Amino acid sequence: MTEHLQIQSIISNIEKVMIGKKNIAELAVIALLADGHVLLEDVPGVGKTMMVRALAKSIGADFKRIQFTPDLLPSDVVGVSIYNPKEMEFEFRPGPILGNIVLADEINRTSPKTQSALLEGMEEASVTIDGVTMPIPKPFFVMATQNPIEHEGTYPLPEAQLDRFIMKLKMGYPHPSEEIEVLNRLEKRMPIDELHAVISLEELINLQKKVKDVKVDSTMKGYIVELANRTREDTYIYLGVSPRGSIALMRASQAYAMLHGRDYVTPDDIQYLAPFVFCHRIMLRPEARYDGISTEEVLSRIVKRTPVPIKRKIIQ
Amino acid sequence: MSEKTRLSFLSLMIYLFVFILMVEWLKPVIELTDTDHLNLFCLFLALSFLFYLVKLNWKIAIPLKILFIWWILVSIYTEVSFFSRDSFSFLFDTTIVNIKALIAQEWLAVTDSFRTLLFFILLWMTTYLLNYWIRVRQNLLLFFALTVLFIAILDTFSPYNGERSIVIVLAVGFLLNGLLYAQKVINENKVQPFGKLLLTTVLSLFGLIAVSVGLAFVLPKAGPSWPDPVPFFTSSSTTHTGREGSGVGGIRKVGYGENDEHLGGAFFGDDTPVFYATVPREQYWKIETKDTYTSKGWIQSDTEAQISSYEKENPIALDISPGQEEELAVANILMRQEFPFVVQPYGLTSINSLEQVTLSLNATNQKISTFRGGDTVPLGSYEVSFREPTYSLQALRETTSESLNGLTTEFNRYLQLPETLPSRVRDLATSITENETSLYDKAKIIERYFRRNGFSYNQTLAAVPTGDTDYVDQFLFETKLGYCDNFSSSMVVMLRSIGIPSRWVKGFAAGEVDHKENNVPVYEVTNNNAHSWVEAYFPEIGWMPFEPTIGFSNSINIKYDLDITANDFDTPVPVQPPSSKDKPNTEKTELSKGFTDVMKSGLEWISNRKAAIIWSCVGLLLLSLTAYRYKRKWISKVLIPLYRIRKNDWYTFEKMYHQLLKQLSFYGLGKEQGQTLMDYAQQIDAYFGDKNMRNLTSVYEKGFYGGNREDINYKKMRESWENLINQLSG
């Protein structure tokens, strides 16, 4: 069982440039292994781009970045066919989405039309331009960022779109001592330039396949479904977690178990990942806001109250 | 046997049992509606269940079933061959006729064949529903409960006899539900390997049900606590009073039960006054005697009776002579119900009434009827003069068995016993009386036999003998619960079986003092006081009454003219329990007798040590409470050896782990329900300052969530487990 060593090496590689953000790096790698995409909600300048670039470099994948602006068109994302007068025919110029690792920066600043072009590509892992469907090369990993500060002139992602991200992460500011360390490292050189790939793309695809072999016991499936169900029934929650959310939690738990060198999912995996996977899929009722309760609090209460299966039930 | 075969065998059993239950539904329906061809309906059911069992495609199953129904209809209702064209035309014609009738709402015009068809469709729907319950819901409890209810209701409120049916339904139903449950568990948990589980489940289920059915079969059964409502309803519509001992039937509107052919069963209290007797001393009021025991009740043998007529005030010659030395007493009887006969105190000499009446004494049953001009008439009030008979104890003690040899054939009817009387009754009577020499003492022993030996008086739980069961035998050996009829009949039968002529007497007990008139008590005698007792005949003494019924007493004048102390007379002679050498009648009775004997002696043992038992219960309770309170001190000493003897395998480990969780929870370190095991293990280890719980938990998680149960070092696990358990005790 060497998979977890390979994964650990990716994470420690990222850690060379990211200081004090091990858990975020870990989660991003988990999302990548689970073949999902991540939504990062954070203020600018905390190292989002750095992390994605480090991730891309660590796996030897090409890295594309799309800066979303209000005037961005779908063709700017997926690509366009341009008439080549020399060859007398249309030539396809692939857009930035046709890369392995894509950073979609400030996704909420662009129009819904362009947003959905990206999101469709994410969901189907292919783009259609002028009636021609082109598959996006594997592995395909989108990290979209959202700026929580600005609201003027933004188009918040609708719930249905949010559901497509396997998890939503927040980086937050580094600890002062960590920030000093960042300054120290960047004083003379750019460590990102010195990063080398630790595994190949083929190895990564192989890892993605192996994630699916991690055993999810029937009791664990039951536990995931029970958690999802309780979000649907909670009095504070207006919209609960969809079955897609349950699948996402299962897949992420498998990747997390693999990261820890296990070939089976435990309730700890599920409990650890539940906030990252479930929170952005839950819409609270206004009452929750009046009571000053956040989604995280509602979810942690649900997790606390849901019995962890520790015995096989005879009667179902 | 492969697992697949096992599973299909399981389903085969389930469908078979469902089929049996369905047949139990069909039987009463067929019987109560006078329908024929139960076999064909059963065949249809069997066919349907077979199709469901083999999961035959509905495209084949439905046409097959339709063909089958059609074939049945054609072969039952017509003579034509199924394969002829006529069968088609029959089908066509009936359909037309019935559809017309249905449209016209002429329900009576619907033909039988059409009704049969509808019944088949009903059966079809039922089997479909049952299949749904078996396959999808995997639960048949509702159907089982409905079946029991259905049979019970039909048995209670209709002529259908569900005695056999209910036993079958209960046994099969429990089996069925158990098997379904086993199947459900196997299906849902994918238990591997389930062969062992299946075997243990099914075998234990069969064993359990067999044992309970067997026990229920051999144990004595009390009679019904309320009478079968069907005869009750029919009888209550024609009668208005009950008389104790008059049995289920035979209650006349005139008020006195004549029919004692079927004794037994519960009866209801009725305090309607029958008559008022103004008499100085409590008296038993005799009406008549019966001489022939039929194993179910009593009848009078000689119907062509010797009748002698008497005018009022003339002395009447009854076969019990009045006491010579007693004063003449007079009882005033004021009737409240119309009895065309006289209630007689013992020692009656003459009867007087203001009304015009002729008295006629029937010598065979000692009944005095009242006539006027050839017809029986009830008297409103009359006076009875009597001298209470006295008996010399000396003479009684001198009665011997040899003197019985001189009895005339006239007494044969008082020695009659049915041939079917089980021999253990005789054996019992012989064994309890063999130490006595005089006939009187023998009779007294029998009279007193009921006061001990576990008999009790009960009006509601008295059993009705069914089938070949003998009324007396059932009471003596099986139920031991009953009222006067049971006690008196049993005593008569026992007396007769040792050769003492005896007869069964009906009448009324003394009743209660209602008020006093001129210092003479007036007794109110109600239907509740209806009673039966015993008269035994001793040569040279004559007839003498005995009262075997618990809770009743009939004071008889006995002259203590012997030179012995009264104490000696009253010393109870130890009653010999029926010897175990009793020849068993059949194996069944032997077995049940063994059981009742064991139970009886067990109950006696318990009742003799009531206080000791109560105190030891209290002590045990206190002890267990203390033990529970301080169980932390000793629980490890129990648990560790208990689990040490088990195999080192995953199942033991799983049990040990859960036991540990339980003990930790008792200790006050319970796991919260939303807490994961690993999280909990860290908490526990932090508390005890070691790594035992984490070691155990990681192995448990690996085995449980990961299904990886190999390479487990069970020895090490056991060590960690024992450490933790010991820490909990320490």
Q: Considering only CA atoms, which of B722, B706, B712 is closest in space to residue B660?
A: B722
Q: Is the pTM of this model over 0.80?
A: no
CB B386 within 8 A of CB B321: no
Give the best residue of B136, B650, B676 to mutate against chain A (max A CB count within 10 A).
Answer: B676
- Whether chain A has a CB inside 8 Å of the CB on B643: the answer is no
Q: What percent of chain B has pLDDT over 70?
A: 87
More reliable by pLDDT, A38 or B454 = A38
Give the pLDDT confidence of B315-354 residue by residue, as tens digits.
887 888 787 777 788 888 888 888 888 888 888 888 888 8
A134 domain residue, yes or no: yes
Verify that A154 and A270 share a domain, yes or no.
no
Q: Give the minimum alpha-carbon distance from A298 to chain B in angstroms, rounded to a whole number.
A: 14
Verify that A169 and A87 share a domain, yes or no.
yes
A interface residues, B as partner, C-beta within 8 Å? 215, 217, 219-220, 262-268, 271, 303-308, 310-312, 314, 316
CA dist B568 and B437 (Å) reads: 15
Average pLDDT of span B456-471? 79
A-chain residues near B704 (CB < 8 A): 217, 219, 310, 312
CB B255 within 8 A of CB B241: yes
CA dist A24 and A276 (Å) reads: 10
- In this structure, the number of other CB atoms found within 10 A of the CB of residue B335 comes to 18
Verify that A57 and A130 share a domain, yes or no.
yes
Q: Could A264 and B702 be called an inter-chain contact, meaning their C-beta atoms sit closer than 8 Å?
A: yes
Verify that A189 and A217 share a domain, yes or no.
no
Measure CB to CB from residue A268 to each of B672, B679, B702 and give the nearest one: B679
A155, A190, A207 — which closes off a domain?
A: A207
Q: Could B708 and A266 be called an inter-chain contact, meaning their C-beta atoms sit closer than 8 Å?
A: no
CA-based max dimension of chain A: 73
pLDDT for res B446 = 87
A160 domain residue, yes or no: yes
CATH number for A254 = 1.10.8.80
Verify that A175 and A216 share a domain, yes or no.
no
Q: Could B704 and A217 be called an inter-chain contact, meaning their C-beta atoms sit closer than 8 Å?
A: yes
Q: Which of residues 657-696 of B touch A (CB under 8 A)?
A: 658, 661, 672-679
pLDDT for res B620 = 92
Verify that A107 and A232 share a domain, yes or no.
no
A137 domain residue, yes or no: yes
CB B667 within 8 A of CB B632: yes
pLDDT for res B400 = 82
Q: Model confidence at B393, in pLDDT bands (50, 70, 90)?
A: confident
- In this structure, the number of other CB atoms found within 10 A of the CB of residue B597 comes to 14
A-chain residues near B707 (CB < 8 A): 215, 217, 264
pLDDT for res B303 = 59
A153 domain residue, yes or no: yes
Give the pLDDT confidence of B544-592 residue by residue, as tens digits.
888 888 878 777 777 766 554 444 444 444 444 444 444 444 444 555 5
Q: Considering only CA atoms, which of B90, B86, B92, B76 is closest in space to residue B35?
A: B76
Total CB pairs under 8 A between chain A and B: 57
Verify that A202 and A80 share a domain, yes or no.
yes
**Structure ipTM:** 0.84
For chain B, give the mean pLDDT: 80
CA dist B132 and B138 (Å) reads: 8
Q: Give the minimum alpha-carbon distance from B708 to chain A in angstroms, rounded to a whole number.
A: 9
Q: Model confidence at B194, in pLDDT bands (50, 70, 90)?
A: low
Measure CB to CB from residue B676 to each of A271, A305, A316 and give the nearest one: A271
Measure CB to CB from residue A217 to each of B675, B676, B707 and give the nearest one: B707
Give the pLDDT confidence of A37-85 residue by residue, as tens digits.
999 888 777 888 888 888 888 888 888 888 888 888 888 888 888 888 8
Verify that A57 and A185 share a domain, yes or no.
yes
More reliable by pLDDT, B708 or A284 = A284
- In this structure, the number of other CB atoms found within 10 A of the CB of residue B650 comes to 16
- In this structure, the number of other CB atoms found within 10 A of the CB of residue B171 comes to 18
Q: Could A307 and B673 be called an inter-chain contact, meaning their C-beta atoms sit closer than 8 Å?
A: yes
Strand-pairing partners, residue B372, are B375
Verify that A120 and A194 share a domain, yes or no.
yes
Q: Give the minimum alpha-carbon distance from B716 to chain A in angstroms, rounded to a whole number.
A: 21
Q: Give the minimum alpha-carbon distance from B58 to chain A in angstroms, rounded to a whole number.
A: 30
DSSP per-residue string spanning A223-286: HHHHHHHHHHH-TTEEE---HHHHHHHHHHHHHHHHHTT-SB--HHHHHHHHHHHHGGG-EE-H
Element of type H or E holding B27: helix B3-32
Number of domains in chain A: 2
Report which DSSP code applies to B133.
I
pLDDT for res B146 = 92
**Domain ranges, residue A187:** 3-207
A313 domain residue, yes or no: no
User: Please, how many CA atoms are within 13 Å of residue B105, restricted to the half-sphere of its CB?
Assistant: 0
Verify that A178 and A249 share a domain, yes or no.
no
Verify that A163 and A116 share a domain, yes or no.
yes
Give the pLDDT confidence of B29-58 residue by residue, as tens digits.
888 877 778 888 899 999 999 998 888 888
- In this structure, the number of other CB atoms found within 10 A of the CB of residue B386 comes to 23
E-only strand ranges, A157-244? 167-169, 237-239
Cα–Cα distances (Å) from A40 to A23, A27, A29, A94, B350, in that order, read 13, 11, 13, 25, 120
More reliable by pLDDT, A113 or A148 = A113
Give the pLDDT confidence of B61-114 residue by residue, as tens digits.
899 998 888 888 888 888 777 777 787 888 888 888 888 888 888 877 788 888
Rounded to a whole number, what is the distance in angstroms from the first to the last CA of chain A? 35
CA dist B727 and B730 (Å) reads: 5
Q: Could A312 and B189 be called an inter-chain contact, meaning their C-beta atoms sit closer than 8 Å?
A: yes
B-chain residues near A312 (CB < 8 A): 189, 704
pLDDT for res B254 = 31
Average pLDDT of span B586-605? 66
Q: Model confidence at A194, in pLDDT bands (50, 70, 90)?
A: confident
Give the pLDDT confidence of A237-262 residue by residue, as tens digits.
888 899 999 999 999 999 999 999 88
CATH number for A136 = 3.40.50.300
Measure CB to CB from residue A314 to each of B185, B707, B708 and give the nearest one: B185
Give the pLDDT confidence of B9-24 residue by residue, as tens digits.
888 989 999 999 999 9
A207, A235, A261 — which closes off a domain?
A: A207
Q: Could B674 and A220 be called an inter-chain contact, meaning their C-beta atoms sit closer than 8 Å?
A: no
CA dist B612 and B590 (Å) reads: 33
> What is the side-by-side strand order in the sheet with B542-546?
B285-290, B502-508, B530-538, B542-546
A258 domain residue, yes or no: yes
The distance from CA B389 to its chain's CA centroid, rounded to whole angstroms, is 42
- Whether chain A has a CB inside 8 Å of the CB on B706: the answer is yes
B-chain residues near A263 (CB < 8 A): 706, 708
Give the best residue of B705, B708, B709, B711 to mutate against chain A (max A CB count within 10 A).
Answer: B705
Closest residue in chain A to residue B681, using alpha carbons only: A268
CB B462 within 8 A of CB B297: no
A314 domain residue, yes or no: no
Q: Give the minimum alpha-carbon distance from A39 to chain B in angstroms, rounded to a whole number.
A: 28
- Whether chain A has a CB inside 8 Å of the CB on B467: the answer is no
CB B327 within 8 A of CB B385: no
| Residue at A219: amino acid letter | T
Q: Could B707 and A271 be called an inter-chain contact, meaning their C-beta atoms sit closer than 8 Å?
A: no
A315 domain residue, yes or no: no
Give the best residue of A266, A305, A314 to mutate against chain B (max B CB count within 10 A).
Answer: A266
B-chain residues near A264 (CB < 8 A): 701-702, 705-708
Give the pLDDT confidence of A261-294 residue by residue, as tens digits.
888 999 999 999 999 999 989 888 888 888 888 8
Q: Could A316 and B705 be called an inter-chain contact, meaning their C-beta atoms sit closer than 8 Å?
A: no
Give the best residue of A217, A305, A308, A316 to mutate against chain B (max B CB count within 10 A).
Answer: A308
- Whether chain A has a CB inside 8 Å of the CB on B707: the answer is yes
Q: Could A308 and B677 be called an inter-chain contact, meaning their C-beta atoms sit closer than 8 Å?
A: yes
Give the pLDDT confidence of A125-177 residue by residue, as tens digits.
888 777 778 888 878 888 888 877 666 777 888 877 888 899 998 888 888 88
| Residue at B201: amino acid letter | T
A161, A189, A207 — which closes off a domain?
A: A207
Residue A227 has pLDDT above 90, yes or no: yes
Closest residue in chain B to residue A223, using alpha carbons only: B674
Environment class of residue B643 by beta-carbon count within 10 Å: exposed (0-12), middle (13-18) or buried (19+)? middle
Residue B248 has pLDDT above 50, yes or no: no
Measure CB to CB from residue B676 to each of A266, A311, A312 and give the nearest one: A266
A-chain residues near B676 (CB < 8 A): 266-268, 271, 308
A-chain residues near B703 (CB < 8 A): none
Cα-based torsion angle of the residue sequence A10, A13, A18, A23 in order, rounded to the nearest 10 degrees: 30
Q: Give the minimum alpha-carbon distance from B189 to chain A in angstroms, rounded to a whole number.
A: 7
Q: Model confidence at B179, in pLDDT bands (50, 70, 90)?
A: confident
Verify that A239 and A104 share a domain, yes or no.
no
E-only strand ranges, B110-168? none
| Residue at B697: amino acid letter | T
CA dist B148 and B170 (Å) reads: 7
Cα–Cα distances (Å) from B482 to A305, B390, B530, in that order, read 61, 30, 15
CA dist A106 and A155 (Å) reads: 10
B469: tokens are: 């069961």
